[in-house]
Structure 1
Amino acid sequence: MDMNDNLPTFIQNIYTMMLSKNEPVGTILGHLHATDICMRYMLGVAPGGAPNLASFVSLDMESRPVWAEVLVTASDAGSPPLSANVTVHVVVVDENDNAPLVLHPAQESSPVPSELVPVSAEAGYLITKVVAVDADSGQNLWLSYHLLRATDPGLFVVGAQSGEVRLGYDVW
C-alpha cells in the first residue's frame, strides 16, 4: 500500500522550449516529466485567482523577442495530494518572413530614381544613401547592401552596412 510520502519531483528545475513565431495553434512545445506513478499536470494559477494571459507573456521592445513564463504543477492522486511546481520558459523565435522595405530613395517617385553628380566630383563622393528597414528581429533584421548591376561595375561603390552609394573613381 502506497503511503503517499514522496513529493513529485520534476527532472529539471526550469524547462526552456523554443517555438517559431509562425507555428500553428496546437503545436507541441515539448514535454515535462515528473517522477511519481500517478501524476496529473496543470497550469499554475497567479497568486490571488485566475491566470491572466498578460502575466505569462513578455515582449522586449528593443530586441523584440517574445517569451512566456508559465508555472506548471504536478500533483499525485494520494490523500492528501502532494505536488511540485516547475517554471516553463517558452521562447518565440523569429523567422525570416519579412522582406526589407526600401524607404529612400522612394520607389514610387519615378520609374528610376536618379541623382545628379557634379562634374568636379572625386572618388568617394557620396551620391545617395539607400535606407531600408525590415520587420523581422534578431539576425533576420540585419541588412546588407550590394550593387546588383551597373554599366561600369567600378564606377559605383555601395557600403555593405551603410547603404551609401559613392563614386568609385574620378569620372572626369
Structure 2
Amino acid sequence: MKPVLATASLYLALLAGAPQHAFAENPAESRQKIEAVIKAFGKAILDKDKEGFMRLFLREDITWVPVYTDASVARYRANLSDPAQPVPKVQGGTPRKFIESIARAPEARSETFDNLRIDTDGEMAQVLFDYSFMVGDYRSAWGKESWQMVRTENGWRIAAVVWSAEENPVPPPKK
C-alpha cells in the first residue's frame, strides 16, 4: 500500500508543478481555434496570400490528395486528344503548388465550407466538411474534404488534406 501512496503523492506533486500548457486544451477552446484556421485558409485563397496560406500547415510536404469522381475522370478523358491516355483518379500535389496556382490565376478563387464537423481531444483533430471551389461566381468543383490537424507550440496546424472532387460538368460561362 505504501508504494501506491508514494506514487500517487509524486504524481500529484508533479501535476501541481506542471505548466498549464502541458495539458490538452478543452475541446470548446480547440474548436474555436480550429475554426479560425479554417477561416484563415479561406481568406488566404481569396487574398492569394501564399505565405499566410503556408503558415497553416505543419510542414510543406504533408499528405495532399484529391480523389476525382469517376464521372469527372471520364469527362476529362473524353476531352483529351488521345482518350487512351491514362488519367489518374487519385492525384497528388502540395499546398504550395495549390496556392501558387491560385495566385497566378487572373480570376478570383474561393472555397466554401459547409456542414463542418470537428472531432478533437485538444491535441489532434479530424475536420470534415462539404466544400465548393469557386472560380469567380462559377462553382468549379465540390465534394468532401478532410483535414488531420495537430496542436503545436505555435498553434493548430494542418497535417494532412484529402478531398473528393466532382468537377462541374457544365463549362464556365464565356466572357
Of Structure 1 and Structure 2, which has the larger fraction of its residues in helix?
Answer: 2
* Bin for the TM-score computed over the shorter chain: under 0.3
Structure of greater relative contact order (alpha carbons < 8 Å, 6+ residues apart): 2
TM-score after normalising by structure 2: 0.24
TM, length-normalised to structure 1: 0.24
- Structure number, greater radius of gyration: 1
